[in-house]
Amino acid sequence: MSEKYICNYLHNSGNVCGRSCRRFEGCHEHWRSKSRVPCDVCSKPTASVSKRCKKHVGSYYVLQYYARLLSKQIDRS
C-alpha cells in the first residue's frame, strides 16, 4: 500500500508547496530540487552553500577575502 506525503518544498515567496505526493522527498516537480534554508541576514529562502541570498552573498565573499589576506599576512611573519 502506498503512503501519502505532503510536499514541503519552500518557494521563494516563503510558502510551502503542500501538494500530496508518494515520495518522502516531495512532489513530482520538487523531489530533485535542492533543499532551501533561510538566509542568515533576511530569512529569504535560499539554496546557496553560504546560506545567504543573492542580495547578501557579496558581504560573505568579502569577509572570506579579508580572512585569506589576514592568514597570508600572518604566514609571512
Residues of the chain with pLDDT under 50: 1
User: Which pLDDT belongs to residue 54?
Assistant: 86
How far apart CA 66 and CA 20 sit, in angstroms, is 47
pLDDT digits (tens, 9 = 90+) for 36-54: 788 888 988 888 888 888 8
Nearest one of 15, 6, 8 to 35, comparing CA atoms: 8
Cell of 26: 516531495
Q: Alpha carbon of 51 to those of 6, 20, 29, 45, 67: distances in Å?
A: 25, 28, 23, 9, 18
Task: Give me the pLDDT at residue 1, please.
Answer: 45
Q: pTM higher than 0.85, yes or no?
A: no
Taking alpha carbons only, the member of 50, 56, 49, 52 closest to residue 40 is 52
Q: Strand pairing partners for 46?
A: 37
Domain positions in the chain are: 1-33, 37-77
